[in-house]
Structure 1
Amino acid sequence: MKKFLMLAVLSVVLFAGCQKADFDSTVTGEALGAFTLNTPATNAALVLNAATPTAKVEISWTASKPGVDVTPVYKWIAALKATGNLDAPLLEIPSDNNGADAKLTLTQKQLDDVLKAKGIADGAKADLIWSVKADNGSTQLVAGDIRNISITRMKDGVTNFILLSPASATAPITVNPVSTADSVRFKWTKGLPATGGPAITYQVAFSKDGNFTSPLFAIPASNTGKDTALSIAAKQFNDSLVKYGFTDLSQTVSLKWTVIATSGTWKQQADYINDIAFLREVNFYLVGTPNGWSIDNPLKLIVDQKADRYGTVFYTYIKLAANDEFKFFKTPGDWGSGYGDNGAGTTPGSYKTGLNVGGNLKVTTAGIYRLTIDTKNELAYVQQKQVGVVGGMQGWTPATPLYGAYLQRDKFLIIVPSSGTDEFKFHDASLGAAWNFGIGDDRWWGGADGKLVQDGGDPNIKAPYSPYTRLIWDATNVQQMKYNVYQGKLRIIGGAPVIGDWNPANALDMDYQGNGVWKKTITLTASTEFKFVSAEGWDLNYGADGAGKIKEGGDNITRAAGTYTVTVDEYNRTYTVL
């Protein structure tokens, strides 16, 4: 009986557990999760382009988390910033997919039409505040942030276009800064104006840093700005570079460039910005015995940088043997561009010349010569001259400079006595009246910061060392002459304590004998390698260049244990260890 009663109770419990719960499924209101705006960023400025009406404008935000049953729909809302309110928006536009998507995509024309319908004038700017409203039918929620945007309505416009040439590059383009025949060329694709809009004009704009809101300068395209190309004479382009601060013709000019198209009030920048660099060089050449008469590999001449001679006067200092012959040439590879001997001129060492005129010029005596070509006056000069020093250490006497060594074409080394305060100029000696800076007369150079002033001007250069200063005049870069000033000491340095253990500060001073010759007696206790350095250290050092010869950066010299007298002749580039 007890067992039966327990089964009956259990049956009642199980039956009760199988009863269906009766819940109320009627929607009485659902919450919406917070959401935020994505794009565009606040304070964005959108200018609608009448020439690209189908271009897309996209506004996006994060999705609001829906309630149990109802997914929200969205509207983009906007109001005038100064007087409006998002509770009563000026604009309400459902998002994509009938309001279901968390973004709104409009064409520029659609957005322009909406603004026009609200009374915004053509070409006018509307400053707005905007956000997004989510609505699930019972609850409305505005995004957690409100942003600013300015939208300028369509008036004029230009379609997108791209740059064609020159391609973006940092390697410099070489241009002749005095040439009116050579040109610099730019090309780009064509933009189209808005339907019925004003014709387009173009400008090629240049900038140092890529900011084209205020470019460094701009040049109208060819055909008064109408063409999709610009061809400008090299001289005119150089004049623009000089006008805007690029006065040092020896320096590479690195810029960025693009094209700006204008149609009415609309300005459209090309889709790209290209790098461009210019090296401004005007060159003239020497061909003859010194270079094996190779017209394809002529010797470049120094460019006279004096303003009234630039591009017409060129020269070089060169060592010639007796009976060497040569001509000046305008163009590598072109025998028809030569300037030769067309008879003696009116001043010593001068010759009449002209383009493709005259025979070979010739020297009868070996020596160091200054060879000059003056294309403007059609004169050539062949004069036995070399670069020396005129200054306080020799009484400022231009007729008798202190000379040194010819190291190579257009490079000289001069070791001068100096008190540490002497000033000087490099000078190649007076042929007539002192300090007469003429094309066929004297040349002299002041300088600063290692660069020579090439028109005979100031400032003087200082020889800051005592008792000697080592000077190097260097025009091997024909576009930018330079100089170096070193202490006038030479030291032996090497792998033994007596010669500094390869430490320039502890190296052994040699004794100056004059005329570029240094001498010192040393005792080595074991086989030792050594070289020669200036007092500054490794910036100027000499090593072996074969038996008995030295060169800058040459090989170590080795000697066994013993006592030696070491002699170095810097001017003649020789050494002995005896």
Structure 2
Amino acid sequence: MKYILKLLPVLMGMILVISGCDKLDKMDPLPVYQLGVSPVLSSSTTTVAPLLADSNKAVVNFSWTNPHYSNDSATTKYILEIDTTGRNFAKEGTRIVIGNLSTSLTGRELNAYLLTLGFKLNVAQTIDVRLMSSYNNNNERYISNVLKLTVTPFADPSVLVTANSAVTVTLANASQPSNTFSWTASFKGFADSVTYSLQYDSAGKNFVAPLEIAVGKSILTKGLTQGEMNTTALTSGIPGGNTGKVEYRVKAVTPLGAIAYSNVVTVTIQSYVPILRMYLPGSYQAATGNGSDWDPGSAPELIRDLRSSVFNDMYYIYIYLPANTEFKVTTGRTWDVNYGGTGGNLVQNSPNNLKVTTAGVYRISVNRTTLKYDIRAGRMGFVGGATGAGWNPPGVFPTYAMGAPATNLFVGINSFVANDAWKLIDNDSWNNGSNAVDETRSYGSTGGDGSTMEVNGANFPNITDATSRKRVIWDGRDVNNIKYFISPATEMRVVGDGINQAGVNDWDPPTSPQMTYTGNGIWTITITLKAGKDIKFLAGNAWGAFDYEDNSGQSQATGVDKKIKWEGGDNFKTPATAGTYTITLNENNQTMKIN
């Protein structure tokens, strides 16, 4: 009996377990969380060829099935991928959609994808499109089927406007603003930069061979000066001084080569005759410090004769040429238009070079209209009642000649008669009014020191002071403005801290020793110098007077000519050894020598 009582609890426990299992079998099963399935992608069309008018219209719709993630479907992430067919989405463009089961592309949006892929405009090509789904955190990604679409990108050009439909331009105001072109962006929605240029051509030529002005990346405006507008007129075939119409348009280029052209605007231009420039490339350039041989880009420029009768026709230069120099004349700094010839006759693009056989300073004159040239001695001298030569050109050379130290530069000293007229002249006869290349050029000005000179113009102002000896500089190094300078030449002093002479203070003009003038622009002095110090030359007893500095790199060599300059430079260095030296300053040759 006791044994049975002990078994009862065990039996009751077993009954309860069996009863509990039966109840569990009758309860609902626990939920199963699905991972989702790949979406199925479809499109509203398989061929898309939008036009510019479709830019803001939906041109293709994409939709897909629900991937059935176990989440709120409003948070499901979808990535629509677009790439060139066959590239396995290696360089795809993408669009992200959250929650929706469809999206659409406007014509301009689709165009931007296609331009990024490098598709050619107006050419049908194929793309692959697929969809990737995932949770919003990018987990559990599934990829759809791939659709193939035939697509055709379209041109999406700028809209161009001009500030002025008619302009009048003048040479005097060539640097002033004339017109501004503005335009809208091309290929709107395209993520990369677009490079713009402004093209132009004569009206009615339909841009068969347009000329182009570079603008740059992402720039939507271009202003042109009067000179630049004039250039567009002249290069479009409108002769200077005439009125004509020029057409303009904007060219837009993507990094992968898609090109679109804007609408065309027309501007009526009253043009002017521009300044033409001529240059002298030849075999002499490297040897004379004028750039590289036969290089128009570094060749010296000829002076333009500004007289109205020969404007843009007559050009000339005064220049030193070595023996057996050959050269040509070019219009502009290229060989596109060049002139050679023989016997005084120019021939465009001639195989015959112009030449000189003897070294010397030459005056070279050319006329691009008459196609004539003249080569003769390059010189300049004093003529007139105030000079020793009187009004007699045959008596000018060599007694009253100036020195020619550099291209288009003459320097001379002359003793003038007070209150009488004078000029400078480059030949031993008066000009005959022929305006020919071989005529004499005389020079004058109604202005004072530093004024512009006029060819065959008025006399220089009379010299009225009692200091009759003057230094005169004929300066045509600025070919746009040939000028003259005049200053007293009564004295020349050596100043500096390199003078070892009693009573001479360092850098003190009043106590500095004076040189002796021996004629023909030459000054001399014998003086004791300190070693390795500085000196310069001053044409007066106070600072502010005309002075000369070193143009030789501060050479301390003795017994050699050293170049000088009057535009400002370093001081001269005295010799390395102290002692007594003779200094010769030659203003005509623009040199100095220490012996």
TM (normalized to structure 1)? 0.50
- Larger gyration radius, structure 1 or structure 2: 2
